[in-house]
Amino acid sequence: MSQSPRPEGPLLEVDRLAVTFYTPRGTVRAVRDASLEIGRGEVLGLVGESGCGKSTVAFALMGYLPGTAQVDGTLRFAGKDIAHLTPSELRELRGNRMAMVYQDPATSLNPAMRVGPQIEEVLREHLALDTREATERTAELFDSVGLADPTAIGRRYPHELSGGMQQRVMIAMALACDPDLLIMDEPTTGLDVTTEATILDLVVDLKQRVNAGILFVSHNLGVIARVADRVIVMYAGQTVEQAPVREIFKNPRHPYTAGLLSCMPQPPGEGEATTRLRRIAGAVYSAEERAAETCLFAPRCPMAQDTCRSAAPDMAEAGANHLSRCFYRDDVRPEIWGEPEPRAAGSSNGTEQILDAQNLQRLYGKERRKYILFGPPVRPPVRALNDVGFRVDRGRTLGIVGESGSGKTTLARAVVGLVAPDKGEIRLLDSALAGEVEQRTSEERAALRMVFQNPTASLNPKLPIRHTIIRSLRRFAGLDRRQSRERAAELLRAVGLDPSYLDRPPGELSGGEKQRAALAGAFAANPDVIVADEAVSSLDVSVQAQVLNLLEERQRELGTSYIFITHDLGVVRYISDDILVLYAGHVAEYGPAKSVLDPPSHPYTEALLSAAPVPDPDAAPTRIRLPGAVPTMREAFRGCFFAGRCPRKIGPICDETPPPARTGPDSPDHVIYCHIPVDELAAMQREAQALEAK
């Protein structure tokens, strides 16, 4: 990626920033020593695990820290010391010359106000526009971030917009006053790959169009490779490495950076086997601990020597425009985290079938008629699932992918009995399952366990996490109180948590720690199938690697099967034996993972793969963008369910005739629902890949 020229003097200077919180439970050193600079027209990526201080740096820049925080060091924006501004001066700066886009737009937008007036309020406050001028400027902002029909969008409430549309509204609000500095804190976390791709395109376009400095905070290295010019890596509240983006990815000079890169699932090359993920053992140096005069990464570092345990390294030159906080920066290699090992192959076809689903259909809501009890139908129910079928064999993983609104979570909830299908059958081994979980036997409930996307909502906030784990052990494994406590401690160790966490309430755990506790609870029943709904989407890459390796080990040792739902196609490629692609409640493609991910693929699968960010700054920009969003699915499709957005639509047949099921060339179990013959699809997609590689 070419870098924008640096103007004379940085827009933002942060020098030796330290942020300390004094709380009734003790002192928290969220940031210990962070330094960075951002110039106009430059995107600076800020990466690191949860607890490293990334978001605290962002909030310190905006002056959003509470009164319990002590801020040391220098924060200088356009020559002004942010830490010493008065409240009125800070208010003038925020939203006007500095703006922030938050991780969760749903909690940042006022649910009781239409989105248009929320932006108009900012314009009137900072630019003193009248009502007509503010309305016109708001429509222009919505148009600039790619929202169709800007005037109509402004009249909607936040809940009437998709996650991607809400995020674009937040970006439009941040751009309202043409800020000089834009801070984006995990703006694509939780978005599906097609929406994420359009947001990243927008960030790249903004960098070129508005000439603002952008601080982009993320734990997704693929996203950072796509948008950043330079990258800063943080660990335990310290900046430990900074360099141009290509240098960070190709030539890391700190063991921690090399470790993060080794945790990323990488697509195998032609004829190569998928390699097992390496991981960073242990946890981030606690913010509650006073910084010793040592390298804070030494307890987890495979290169640590006596020097690292007796002195603290400073940031030092590691090459042109490259700094590293490591005594042995010239010796850092990817191999320090272990030689690549081939991932153990999944079970072969023909093994014992554990789960079989046929012709599943699920409707939400009831059909409404014009005159309540009679007249023509005016509001049909939502068709969440339409004749969906799949099977899961023992010791294999079925990956389910698709955009938000495609029916993935409804399918998962139908499998575990949280929603009953209106039609179709689910069989566990040789027995048909009741639709509702209350009607299933204790053995059937133990055999099918679910890990939810939001662990906070699935753990009781008033009880320690041992309650969730021990309750499952006593109910399904028949253990007594002492045995269940010992087994719960073993399960926590298996998911990388200390047994002392058993006595902590969920509020004292980070998001990644809560997700691991939820996984331990699922393993407690020793189930045949675990349904994981976005179980790793919010985890850092190091924790994600640990969890994925744990799932693989359990599968190899116990024969556990998984239904794994995620929007991260790198994770799907790594963990799945079979893949089911859903769109608008319909099966677009289904078959062995390699067959689905290599040409020929359904055009929708091709679009998903094209949109996925790659952790390589030299990768060519993705080529396919899908307009609009997944349809609401109230009406049955007359033709192909994907025709309205398909980049390879061939004519009226797509609108008028349902697509046939075509068998892929490499496996009789590979099915593609498309009007285009598979050999023509393969030729089109290979030609597109060749053009992209040039």
Please state, in angstroms and rounded to a whole number, the distance separating the CA atoms of residues 53 and 32. 9
Q: Is residue 675 part of a domain?
A: yes
Q: Is residue 672 part of a domain?
A: yes
Report the range of poorest mean pLDDT among 33-37, 103-107, 131-135, 372-376. Answer: 372-376
CA neighbours closer than 13 Å in the CB half-sphere of residue 27 = 10
| Domain finish residue from 193, 215, 249 | 249
pLDDT, tens only, 416-463: 999 999 999 999 988 999 999 999 998 899 899 998 877 777 788 888
For residue 341, the model assigns a pLDDT of 76
How is 353-376 classified by DSSP, letter by letter?
A: EEEEEEEEEEEES--EEEETTEEE
Percent of the chain with pLDDT over 90: 43
For residue 370, the model assigns a pLDDT of 57
Residues 485-507 have a mean pLDDT of: 85
With CA atoms as reference, report the closest residue to 497 among 433, 436, 561, 543: 543
For residue 1, the model assigns a pLDDT of 40
Structure tokens at 62: 């905006």
The better pLDDT of the pair 240, 27 is held by 240
Question: How many CB atoms are located within 10 Å of the residue 456 CB?
Answer: 14
For residue 8, the model assigns a pLDDT of 55
| 677 in the same domain as 547 | yes
Question: What are the E-state strand segments in 512-657?
Answer: 529-533, 561-565, 578-583, 586-592
Residues 233-254 have a mean pLDDT of: 95
The DSSP bridge partners found for residue 385 are 362
Question: How many CB atoms are located within 10 Å of the residue 377 CB?
Answer: 11
Question: Is 70 exceeded by the pLDDT of residue 182?
Answer: yes
For residue 479, the model assigns a pLDDT of 84
Q: How sure is the predictor about 6, in pLDDT bands with cuts at 50, 70 and 90?
A: very low
Please state, in angstroms and rounded to a whole number, the distance separating the CA atoms of residues 361 and 411. 9
**Domain of 404: which CATH number?**
3.40.50.300
Does the predicted model carry a pTM greater than 0.75?
Answer: yes
Contact 602, 402 (CB under 8 A): no
Query: Strand 661-663's sheet: what is its strand order?
Result: 448-451, 529-533, 561-565, 397-401, 578-583, 586-592, 671-673, 661-663
Sign for the pseudo-dihedral over CA of 37, 39, 41, 42: negative
Contact 331, 270 (CB under 8 A): no
For residue 285, the model assigns a pLDDT of 86
Residues 27-39 have a mean pLDDT of: 92
The better pLDDT of the pair 388, 88 is held by 388
Residues 585-614 have a mean pLDDT of: 92
For residue 119, the model assigns a pLDDT of 93
Strands 368-371 and 374-379: antiparallel
Q: Is residue 310 part of a domain?
A: no
Q: How sure is the predictor about 2, in pLDDT bands with cuts at 50, 70 and 90?
A: very low
For residue 652, the model assigns a pLDDT of 94
For residue 379, the model assigns a pLDDT of 66
List Cβ neighbours of 628 (8 Å cut-off, separation of 6 or more). Answer: 148, 644, 645
Q: How many structural domains comprise the chain?
A: 2
With CA atoms as reference, report the closest residue to 87 among 117, 57, 65, 119: 65
For residue 332, the model assigns a pLDDT of 95
The better pLDDT of the pair 315, 479 is held by 315
- Quickly tell me which residue has 């925080």 as its tokens: 69
> In a 3-state reduction of DSSP, which class is residue 138?
helix
Please state, in angstroms and rounded to a whole number, the distance separating the CA atoms of residues 74 and 35. 9
List Cβ neighbours of 500 (8 Å cut-off, separation of 6 or more). Answer: none
The alpha helices in 239-320, defined as continuous H runs, are 245-250, 255-262
With CA atoms as reference, report the closest residue to 36 among 161, 214, 255, 224: 214
Question: Is 90 exceeded by the pLDDT of residue 661?
Answer: yes
For residue 346, the model assigns a pLDDT of 52
How is 324-347 classified by DSSP, letter by letter?
A: E--TTGGG--GGGG----BPPPPP
With CA atoms as reference, report the closest residue to 385 among 598, 671, 641: 641
For residue 371, the model assigns a pLDDT of 62
| 196 in the same domain as 63 | yes
Question: Is 90 exceeded by the pLDDT of residue 376?
Answer: no
| Domain finish residue from 200, 225, 249 | 249
Q: Is residue 335 part of a domain?
A: no
pLDDT, tens only, 314-372: 999 998 899 999 999 999 998 899 887 777 655 444 478 999 999 999 988 776 665 66
DSSP annotation of 55: H
> In a 3-state reduction of DSSP, which class is residue 36?
strand
Q: What angle do CA 558, 562, 566 make, to 5 degrees?
A: 145
Most confident of 58-62, 284-288, 424-428, 443-447: 424-428
Question: Is 50 exceeded by the pLDDT of residue 313?
Answer: yes
For residue 324, the model assigns a pLDDT of 97
The DSSP bridge partners found for residue 244 are 230
Give the DSSP H/E element, type plus range, for residue 296.
Answer: none
Structure tokens at 531: 């349904």
> In a 3-state reduction of DSSP, which class is residue 391?
strand
Q: Is residue 497 part of a domain?
A: no
Contact 77, 61 (CB under 8 A): yes
- Quickly tell me which residue has 């991780």 as its tokens: 103
For residue 272, the model assigns a pLDDT of 60
| 373 in the same domain as 237 | no
Most confident of 336-350, 550-564, 566-580, 648-662: 648-662
Q: Is residue 34 part of a domain?
A: yes
For residue 95, the model assigns a pLDDT of 74
Q: Is residue 519 part of a domain?
A: no
Residues 292-314 have a mean pLDDT of: 93
- First-to-last CA distance in the chain? 15
Q: How sure is the predictor about 5, in pLDDT bands with cuts at 50, 70 and 90?
A: very low
The better pLDDT of the pair 384, 6 is held by 384
Question: Is 60 exceeded by the pLDDT of residue 599?
Answer: yes
| 241 in the same domain as 359 | no
Q: Give residue 486's Cα distance to chain centre.
A: 33
pLDDT, tens only, 491-501: 888 777 888 88
| 557 in the same domain as 413 | yes
| 237 in the same domain as 114 | yes
Q: Residue 233: give the domain boundaries.
A: 12-249
For residue 377, the model assigns a pLDDT of 62
Amino acid at 137: R
| Domain finish residue from 249, 269, 300 | 249
Q: How sure is the predictor about 16, in pLDDT bands with cuts at 50, 70 and 90?
A: very high
Question: Is 70 exceeded by the pLDDT of residue 587?
Answer: yes
The length of the chain in residues reads: 694
For residue 352, the model assigns a pLDDT of 86
Please state, in angstroms and rounded to a whole number, the distance separating the CA atoms of residues 574 and 266. 8
Q: Is residue 318 part of a domain?
A: no
